[in-house]
Structure 1
C-alpha cells in the first residue's frame, strides 16, 4: 500500500521560522505555522560534550482550530511515515559510514525491495571492522547552508548526497566511482531504492540556494551512476523545500510538501499529477514495490487523514482508506498497512501503531505511550520503527546515558508484545531493518563501548553480533554522534556493510561526511 501526506487544518496565526540561511522562512499555508519546541528530543546531554551548531528547525506545525493542540500550542509537524526502514543511513558530520561484516541474506521489509540482489558481494570474513574510507564534510561558504540528504546501497555501490551532487563509492575499494553533478543543492531525497537501483532526488534550480527554488526532480540509477531523467516541479509553493517528502516505487516517483504534491512515472518522468487530490491539503508518500499516499482531506466529518494508492498510469487513487480520527498520522508500513497515530495535544511522536486489514478494518492497536521511540518525524518517516511481516520492532527511550534500553517485538495481529531484547553494556539499541522475520539492530557507541551491528531473533531471543567497530575513544565519540535513536539520520546495513551518513553537516567541524569500515 502507499503512503499519504500531512494535512493542513484550518490555519492559525502565522509565526516566522528562521531558515537555514538566517532568513525567515516564507510562511507556509496550512497547519504548519508554529515552531518545534526547542527542548524536543531524547535523552540527556551528550557525554562527549562536542559543541556544534544547532541545525535549523524545519518542522512546520498544525495550528488552526482543527490542528493538533489548537492555536498557541507549539509542536512538531506531524507527517506520514515511509513504510519500512529502507536503506537508512547514519552519517558522521555530513557523511556516511560503511562497515562490512555479517551474513548476506537478501530480504524484503515492509514489502520493499532493499536494493539489488546481494549475491554478487563477497561474504564477510568475521565481525571485526576496520576503516575502509572517509569522505570529508563539504565546505560551507559564508552564510551558506549545505544539505546532503540521501544514502543508498546496492551490491556494487554506496551512494550519498553531496554538495550539489550525488556520488557513488565502490564497495570493494571504497574509492569514488562516479559523480552526478546537480544544478544546485539537494533539498530532499527518497529513502527508498527500487529493485533495479533507482532513487529520487529534489534539488535547487541553481547553486544560489538563497534565491532559487527546489524546483528540479530527478531519478538516478545508482548501479549505473547516471541520471535516468530530470524534470521541473512547476508549483512555486515548494519554495525552499520545507517539509519536503520524496519517495519512489517501481512505477511512481513523487514529492510532497505542505501545500503541494507532484508525481511522475519512474521509468520515463511522464507527469502523473501536479497537485494534491481535490479536497486534500497535502500528500506525503511511502515508496517501495508500490506507492502509498497519506493525505489530509475534507470529508463529511471534517478534515481527516486518508490513505490511498495511485494508479501508475493515470495518477488517480485506486482505493482510499479514511484513518480513524487522529491529531497526527504517519505511514509506517505498506504490507501490512501500519499507521502511526497521535491523539494527545502535546505528542511529538507516534503514540499508537494501528494495523489495517485488506478489508479496511482496524486489525490491532499497539499502545506506545511515551516509552517508545517510533522516530516519526517531519520528513515523512517513522525511521526507528521496523515492520517484518506481522511483527513491529521498536526501541524504548533510555532517558539517560546511565541506563540501557530495550527493543520490543509486537505482534501486529494482536497488538501484544511478543518478546523484548534488553540492550547490554547499558547501551542503546536502534532498530535498522528486517532480516526475514528477525531484526538487524545497531548498538550506539559509548565512551568505552564500541558500536555494533546485531541480529535479534524473535524465535530464540538471541542477539548475534554481526559487526563490531574499533573500541577507541575517538572512533566511539564519532560514531556516537552519527547514530540517532529516532533514525533521523538513518543507518544502512546491507550485504554485510554498515553505512552512516549525516545529511545536514551540522558537525562538519568534528566529523567527516562519510565513513566506512570493512572486515573483508
Structure 2
C-alpha cells in the first residue's frame, strides 16, 4: 500500500487518509455474536485492501487507507446485520489440503492409535526383549523424573528476564495464565481506582436520544462526561444532555460539522475540537476540516476558534484530521502538517512547516505527554519517526525510527510510550496492528517489540490516525489487550467468549494472570482507572451487558453495573456495533453513542444516537 504525495489545496480528503479524492461508501458490519462471514474488512494497512475504518471504529467499508474527518462519503448500504448479542452459528473448521483444522479455541481430541482404542503403554524392557524387574523399573522412573525436573528448571531460568533481544514474541493469552493474584493485590499496581461497586449493581435505562436526520453520512464523533452532563457532537453543534433525564442542558451551534475531537479533557473541563468553516450542502456533502476551537464543557461556550496556514497548504488554511490535548497545548495534525496552540487563548505555538526532507507531523498522541508521528522522505521511500516532544515548544526530547515496512504508526500511550503499527502490512485482519513497540520516552530506545498475532488479539487502530486505538490499554508497566472471540467451555451454540491478557512492557512477555469474560460474554477494555481496567462485557442474546472493574495485578473482575435483560432495553443496547460506537462509563453511568450516522432508510427500525444506563441514581 502506498501513499500519494500531498494533494493541492482545497481538495477533499481521499481514502488514503489524505485529501484529494472521494471516499468509499461506509458499510455496516455485524456486531458481536452475529453469524460471521469470512472477514471482508481489510484493516489499516493490511494485506487485504488496506483501509482503516473511521473513528473509534464505526462500521464502514474500509478504503485503501483511512480517510480523514469530514470527507465526502456515500450513504452506507442498508445494514444486513444482527446485533452483537445475537446467537452465532458454530464456527466451521478450516481446511488445509483436505485436513480440517479446528477453529481458534476449539477443543481438540487426543489422538488415538490406529483403530481408535486407547492402548496401554508398554512396560520397559531390557535389551533382547526381556522385561525389567519391578525394582529396576522404579529406579529408571526416578532417574527420568529427576532429569525432567532439571530440564524444566533450565528452560524456565533461560526463558525469564530481559533476554538478549529487545524483541519478544507475545504468546497466547487463551492457553496461558491463571486467575491467581500473582502476588499483586489491593487496588492494582498503580493504586486504587475511583470506581467502586454500588450496593446494588442492577442498572436501569436512563434515557435514549434518537439519531438526528441527515442527508448523507455524517461524522458525529466526540463524547465526554462531566459531573452534570453527557456532552455529544451533533449536527453542526455540540449538545450537553442531563445525566438523569437526557434533556438538553445547552447547545453550542457551530459554523459547520465537527470533524475531530480530543480524547483528553483538561482538569477544568476544557476540550479541543476540529470543525468545518461552513455547513455542508448537496450535492457535494463535504467541507474542509480547518477550524480549531476549545469548548468549556461546563458552560457550553466556544472559548476560542482559529485556523492556520503553512505546510503543504501554503497560503491556504491547513486541513487537519485529528486533534489532541497535552497539558496546556492543543495539537492538531494531518497531511498538511501539524500545528499547536495555547489552550488558554489559541495563540499558535508552532505551525506546519515546509522542509527539504519532506517531513510533516501526521498527528499527535496526547494525555500525560505529547508524541508526534512524523512522516519523512520522498513518496517512493517514506519512513516514519516517533518523536516525544516538549509540549510547550515542539522540540523533540527523543526519537525512534520505525522499522522498514511501517507506513503509519498509532500512539497507544504517551507515558509510558507505546506505539502500534502494521509492519509490512502483515496484520491482515482489519486491526491495523501486527506489533506493539514499547519505547523509552526519554531516550527513544526500544525496550520491547511485542508481536500481536492478528488471529489471536482483538485491539484495533486506524492506521492513518495517530490517536485512534481502541481496546488496548497501558498501565502498571503493562499492555492490556483482549483476545479474539473463541468457543467457550460449554461448546454450546453461541458460546463465544474471550479474555484480557497483559504484556510486560519491559520484556514484552505475557504475565501469568488473565481476566476471563465468562461463557457467552465478550470483554471490551475501555479505559484505565488508577491501576484497574474498566471494561464492558458485551452480553449474549438473552442478557444485559455489564461494566466491570478488573484489578490490573490479579486480573480479578468486580461487577460495577449490569443492564436489564428485558428485550426492548436489550435491543437498544445491542443496536450499537462495538467497532463503531463510543462507550463510556463513569460513576455508575454507562453510555453508548454513535460516531457515524447516515440518512435513514424507509423501514428502518428506530436508530439511536445515545443510549444511557444508570445504577443507584
The TM tier, using the shorter chain, reads 0.7 to 0.9
Question: What secondary structure sits across from 1:163 in the alignment?
Answer: coil
Residue aligning to 1:308: 387
Q: 1:251 to 1:24 in 2, by over 3 A?
A: closer
Instruction: Check 1:345–1:61 CA distance in 2 against 1; reply closer, same or farther (3 A cut).
Output: closer
Structure-2 change in CA distance of 1:429 and 1:240 (3 Å): farther
* 1:180 is aligned to 2:252: yes
Deviations 1:68-120 (A, max 9, x none): 87xxx721259999xxxxxxxxxxx9xxxxxxxxxxxxx9999xxx9xxx89x
1:150 Cα offset (Å): 0.4
Q: Provide the secondary structure at the position in 1 that maps to 2:382.
A: strand
CA deviations over 1:166-204 (Å, ceiling 9, x no partner): 111233554321111101111121122122211111112
Q: Distance in 1 between matches of 2:546 and 2:229?
A: 22
Are 1:285 and 2:341 an aligned pair?
no
Give the corresponding residue for 1:364: 448
C-alpha separation in 1, matches of 2:595 and 2:28:
20
Higher mean displacement: 434-443 or 372-381 = 372-381
Q: Does 1:253 align with 2:253?
A: no
Alignment of 1:256-335 (within 5 A): 256-275=333-352, 278=355, 279=357, 280-298=359-377, 303-327=382-406, 328-335=408-415
Aligned to 1:46: 34
> Normalized per residue, which structure has more helix?
2
Deviation of residue 325 (structure 1)? 3.2
* 3-state DSSP of counterpart to 2:596: coil
> Would you say the 8 A contact 1:404–1:426 is kept in 2?
yes
Partner of 1:218: 293
The reply to whether residue 350 of structure 1 matches residue 433 of structure 2 is: yes
CA distance in 2, matches of 1:79, 1:108: 33
Residue 169 of structure 1 is matched in structure 2 by 241
Residues 116-135 of structure 1: pairs in structure 2 closer than 5 A: 124=198, 126-135=200-209
TM-aligned CA deviation for residue 359 of structure 1: 2.7
1:414 to 2:498 alignment = no
Alpha carbons of 1:42 and 1:502: their partners in 2 closer, same or farther (altered >3 Å)? closer
Deviations 1:428-486 (CA, angstroms, capped at 9, x unpaired): 110011122221110113311211001112433421111001112232233223251x5
Residue of structure 1 equivalent to 2:321: 244
- Decide whether the 8 Å contact of 1:306 with 1:322 is kept in 2: yes
After TM superposition, the structure 1 = structure 2 runs for residues 2-81 of structure 1, keeping only pairs within 5 Å, are 11=4, 46=34, 74-76=49-51
How big is the shift at 1:323?
A: 2.6
**Equivalent in the alignment of 1:423:** 517
Counterpart position of 1:84: none
Shift of 1:212: 3.3
Aligned to 2:213: 139
User: Larger relative contact order (C-alpha < 8 A, sep ≥ 6)?
Assistant: 1
Structure 1 residues 26 and 432: alpha-carbon distance in aligned structure 2, compared to 1, 3 A threshold: closer
Whether the 8 Å contact between 2:318 and 2:336 is mirrored in structure 1 is no
Check the 8 A contact 1:152/1:160 in 2, yes or no.
Answer: yes
Distance 1:516 1:32, change over 3 A: same
Paired residues of 1:153 and 1:159 also in contact (CA < 8 A): yes
| Range with bigger deviation, 38-47 or 287-296 | 38-47
2:341 aligned counterpart, secondary structure: strand
Q: How far off is 1:157 after superposition?
A: 2.2
Matched, 1:383 2:479: no
Q: Are 1:516 and 2:612 an aligned pair?
A: yes
Distance 1:27 1:157, change over 3 A: closer
Residue 339 of structure 1 corresponds to 419
Q: Which 5+ residue runs of structure 2 have no aligned equivalent?
A: 57-78, 80-186, 488-493
Q: C-alpha distance in 2, partners of 1:352/1:422?
A: 23
CA contact (8 A) 1:448 1:471 kept: yes
How far apart, CA to CA, are the structure 2 residues paired with 1:32 and 1:392? 37
Q: What CA distance in whole angstroms lies between the structure 2 residues aligned with 1:256 and 1:202?
A: 11
CA 1:341–1:79 in structure 2 vs 1: closer, same or farther (change >3 Å)?
farther
Please tell me whether Structure 1 or Structure 2 has the larger radius of gyration of its CA atoms. Answer: 2
State the SS of the aligned residue for 1:477: helix
The size of the alignment, in residue pairs, is 452
Q: Distance in 1 between matches of 2:214 and 2:20?
A: 29
Give the TM-score, by structure 1 length: 0.75
Contact 2:338 2:362 in 1 (8 A): yes
Question: Over residues 289-330 of structure 1, what are the superposed CA-to-partner deviations in whole Å (9 max), with x where a residue is unaligned?
Answer: 33221111239x953221224444444434433233342421
* 1:103 corresponds to: none
Q: Distance in 2 between matches of 1:124 and 1:152?
A: 22
CA drift of 1:37 comes to 11
Whole-angstrom CA distance in 1 between matches of 2:344 and 2:458: 36
Question: Which has the larger share of strand?
Answer: 1
Whether the 8 Å CA contact 2:226–2:298 is kept in 1: the answer is yes
Contact 1:189 1:200 (8 Å CA) reproduced: yes
Of residues 467, 476, 490, the one that matches 2:570 is 476
